[in-house]
């Protein structure tokens, strides 16, 4: 990703934020966190044109009390923002990235399940705007990925890597974007490509585990916010590195930190490591 280089510092005015998917779980959480942040101002909230929430007060919907920002079905209203923070769907995030780049708004994308083509489209938008893209905006998970890369580089011969994740029953993609990012970190540590060593599905006569594979296992149920473990199985020993999220607020707070970074960054394609370093 791009080397972070900040341009002139922000003036003392508040950073204007636009939230697509404002009626969604993350959208409402972001609106609550923005209401508590003195340096941020919500200026636009959108959702699908056919969403029930269209026309409702986004603050009321988020549980913070009236804020006067009505949920609009017109994504062009996001153009008023300095930074668009998008936790929606892959198709919607790409459409919003085109609007953001067309109106010179910075962007944070937290949507998961993007294809390689979708990521190429985001990178194209990042030619003209600062764009932070991260499947997990928690600070803890960002650090976890760094640790995994280091450990994977050390524990090579005779060590099997398995990644286990659990999420609530509403989640629509699997393995989670975070599990894949942790897999990428482990593969990077070992100097291999994840797509060449990943083992996503095991059923029936699978044969023995191949040395060097990185396996994935997925649990779905209840209201689990997000749990990830990277397990290194050795001979007579095991190293486990885990992260457990108990409140979605951690993702929203990380996304707001990314928005503050993006508001004063030069155009480029960034991730949470850039945000932590910035």
Select the span of 3-11, 30-38, 43-51, 216-224 touching ligand NAD (CB under 6 A): 43-51
Give me the least distance between CB of 84 and ligand NAD, in Å please: 11
Give me the least distance between CB of 262 and ligand NAD, in Å please: 14
Measure CA 130 to chain center: 15
Site for ligand NAD in 215-254 (CB under 6 A): 251
Is 167 in the active site? yes
Q: What is d(CA 79, CA 101) in angstroms, rounded to the nearest whole number?
A: 9
Catalytic residue among 171, 193, 228, 244: 171
Closer CB to ligand NAD, 122 or 135, in the complex: 135
| Contact assessment for residue 165 and residue 227, using Cβ atoms and an 8 Å cutoff | yes
Look at the block and give the residue holding tokens 């023995």: 208
Closer CB to ligand NAD, 161 or 272, in the complex: 272
Catalytic residue among 167, 168, 169, 210: 167
Catalogue the long-range contacts made by 242-247 (C-beta closer than 8 Å, 24 or more residues apart).
243/138, 243/140, 243/141, 243/144, 245/138, 245/140, 245/141
Q: What is d(CA 239, CA 74) in angstroms, rounded to the nearest whole number?
A: 49
Select the span of 7-15, 19-27, 184-192, 257-265 touching ligand NAD (CB under 6 A): 19-27
What's the residue count for the chain?
278
Give me the least distance between CB of 112 and ligand NAD, in Å please: 4
Residue choice 18, 24, 130, 183 for contact with ligand NAD (CB under 6 A) = 24
Q: What is the dihedral of CA 23, 47, 18, 246, to 10 degrees?
A: 30
For residue 87, which of 1, 29, 13, 2 has the smallest C-alpha distance? 29
Measure CA 181 to chain center: 10
Give me the least distance between CB of 54 and ligand NAD, in Å please: 10
Using CB under 6 A as the binding rule, whether residue 184 contacts ligand NAD is answered as: no
| Contact assessment for residue 249 and residue 194, using Cβ atoms and an 8 Å cutoff | no
Q: Locate the DSSP E strands across 89-193.
A: 106-109, 130-133, 160-167
Site for ligand NAD in 118-177 (CB under 6 A): 134-137
Separation of first and last alpha carbons in the chain:
13
Select the span of 5-13, 47-55, 144-152, 212-220 touching ligand NAD (CB under 6 A): 47-55
Site for ligand NAD in 77-96 (CB under 6 A): 87-89, 92
Is 171 in the active site? yes
Helix (H) or strand (E) holding 136: none
Using CB under 6 A as the binding rule, whether residue 25 contacts ligand NAD is answered as: yes
Per CB under 6 A, residues contacting ligand NAD are 20-21, 23-27, 46-48, 51, 75, 87-89, 92, 110-113, 134-137, 251
Catalytic residues, which ones?
A: 167, 171
């Amino acid at each position: 990703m791009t080397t972070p280089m900040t341009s002139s510092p922000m003036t003392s005015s508040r950073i204007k934020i636009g939230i697509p998917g404002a009626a969604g779980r993350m959208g409402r959480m972001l609106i609550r966190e923005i209401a508590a942040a003195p340096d941020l101002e919500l200026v636009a909230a959108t959702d699908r044109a056919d969403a029930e929430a269209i026309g409702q007060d986004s603050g009321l919907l988020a549980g913070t009390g009236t804020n006067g920002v009505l949920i609009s079905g017109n994504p062009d209203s996001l153009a008023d923002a300095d930074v668009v923070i998008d936790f929606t769907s892959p198709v919607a995030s790409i459409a919003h990235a085109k609007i953001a780049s067309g109106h010179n708004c910075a962007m944070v994308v937290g949507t998961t399940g993007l294809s390689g083509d979708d990521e190429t489209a985001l990178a194209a938008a990042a030619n003209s705007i600062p764009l932070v893209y991260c499947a997990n905006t928690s600070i803890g998970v960002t650090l976890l990925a760094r640790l995994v890369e280091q450990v994977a580089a050390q524990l090579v011969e005779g060590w099997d890597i398995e990644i286990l994740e659990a999420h609530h029953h509403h989640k629509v993609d699997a393995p989670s974007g975070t599990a894949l990012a942790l897999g990428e970190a482990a593969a990077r540590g070992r100097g291999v490509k994840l797509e060449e060593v990943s083992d996503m599905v095991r059923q029936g006569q699978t044969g023995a585990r191949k040395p060097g594979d990185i396996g994935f296992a997925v649990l779905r149920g209840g209201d689990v916010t997000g749990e990830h473990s990277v397990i290194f199985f050795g001979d007579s020993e095991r190293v486990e590195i885990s992260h457990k999220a108990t409140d979605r607020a951690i993702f929203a707070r990380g996304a707001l930190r990314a928005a503050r970074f993006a508001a004063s960054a030069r155009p480029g394609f960034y991730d949470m490591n850039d945000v932590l370093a910035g």
